[in-house]
Amino acid sequence: MSLLTLENLSVTFGKFRAVDNISYSVKEGEVLGIVGESGSGKSVSSLSVMGLIDYPGEVSADNLSFADQDLLSMPEKQRRKITGSDIAMIFQDPMTSLNPCFTVGYQIIEALKTHDGGNKKVLRARALELLNLVGIPAPESRMNAYPHQLSGGMSQRVMIAIAIACNPKLLIADEPTTALDVTIQAQIIDLLIDLQKQKQMGLVLITHDLALVAEVAHRVVVMYAGQIVESGPANEVFSTPRHPYTQALLASLPESASGKARLEALPGVVPGQYDRPQGCLLSPRCPYATDHCRHVAPDSQGSLERQVKCHTPLDAQGRPAA
C-alpha cells in the first residue's frame, strides 16, 4: 500500500513554479531517492509534504495524501498531528537546525510531549533511549548539552533522534549529509538506513549523491527545474536511463570518466524564474534536442512505476528513439 501519494503537485511562489506538476508515491518500508541539481525543487516539494511552505508560496495538487488521508483538505490542527509524528523530516544543516537556546534533552522531549504526552520521568527515559539508538555516547550527559557544544555529526544524530521520536511511518531526509565531513557522512547514512530497516519506515532521501542513491534506494526520482524528468526502480534508472538528463548526470560521475582527462558535464544551468525556455525545459542543454523539443513541452510517458518526460526517450543503448 502506498504511504505517501503525490499527484500533480505544484508549488508556486507568485508566478514562479518551484515545483511543477510532480507525481510520485512512497510505499511502506521503501527508500525513495530524489536526485537533481540545486534549485530543481527537491527540497520545496518535500517541505510541501510537511506543510511547511509559507506565504507567498502556494501548494496545489490533484492529490496529496498520506495513508489515505488527504493532507491538503484537512484542518491545520489535524495536519500538525501528522507532521512530526507520522511524517518527520531532517534537514541539511544540523548545526543551525537545532535551537541554540534549549538543551538537546528539551528539544527531543518537546517532540515526544507534543504528540504522545506522558510525565517527565517517562519522557526523559524515552529521550535517553533515543539518544542511545542514534549512537550518541554518554547520552546521560548529552541530555543537558546545548547545541553549540555538539559537533555537526552529533547534531545530525540529535536531529535524527527528534525525527524518529514518535516512530514516524515516513522520514524525509533532505540532504542529511551535505554539511558534514566525508567520514561522518557514511556513519549518518548507515544510521539512517539501519533505522529505516529496523522500523520499516518509508524513507525519502534527497541528495546530490548518485552513488548513494544507487546503493540504498529502491526507487529513484530525478528532478530538473521543478519537474520530474524520470522515475523508476533505482537499478533500472541507473543501468538504462531513459531521459537525456539522467544520462548526463550519470556521465558526470567521476566513475564514468576513468581514463579521461576531464569529467563530463552538461553545459548551462538550471533555468530560473526569468529564463524558462519555451518547450522542454532541458532543450537548451540537451544534446539530442530537436526543433520539436524547443517548442512543445513533453508529457510524462509510461506508468507511475517508470515514467519519463521526453519526446524521444533513450533506448537501451542510450540513443534517442526515432
Residues in the site for another protein, rule: CB under 8 A? 50, 52, 80-85, 88-89, 91, 93, 96-102, 110-111, 114-115, 146, 148-149, 159, 162
> In whole angstroms, how close is the CB of 270 to another protein at the nearest point?
23
Nearer Cβ to another protein, position 108 or 221? 108
Nearer Cβ to another protein, position 49 or 250? 49
Pairing of β 69-70 and β 307-309: unpaired
> In whole angstroms, how close is the CB of 102 to another protein at the nearest point?
8
Nearer Cβ to another protein, position 102 or 315? 102
> In whole angstroms, how close is the CB of 97 to another protein at the nearest point?
4
> In whole angstroms, how close is the CB of 303 to another protein at the nearest point?
32
Could you tell me which of 15, 12, 23, 32 has the C-alpha nearest to residue 220?
32
Nearer Cβ to another protein, position 99 or 301? 99
> In whole angstroms, how close is the CB of 117 to another protein at the nearest point?
13
Q: Which residues contact residue 67 at a Cβ distance below 8 angstroms, ignoring those fewer than 6 apart?
A: 3, 86, 169
Nearer Cβ to another protein, position 102 or 276? 102
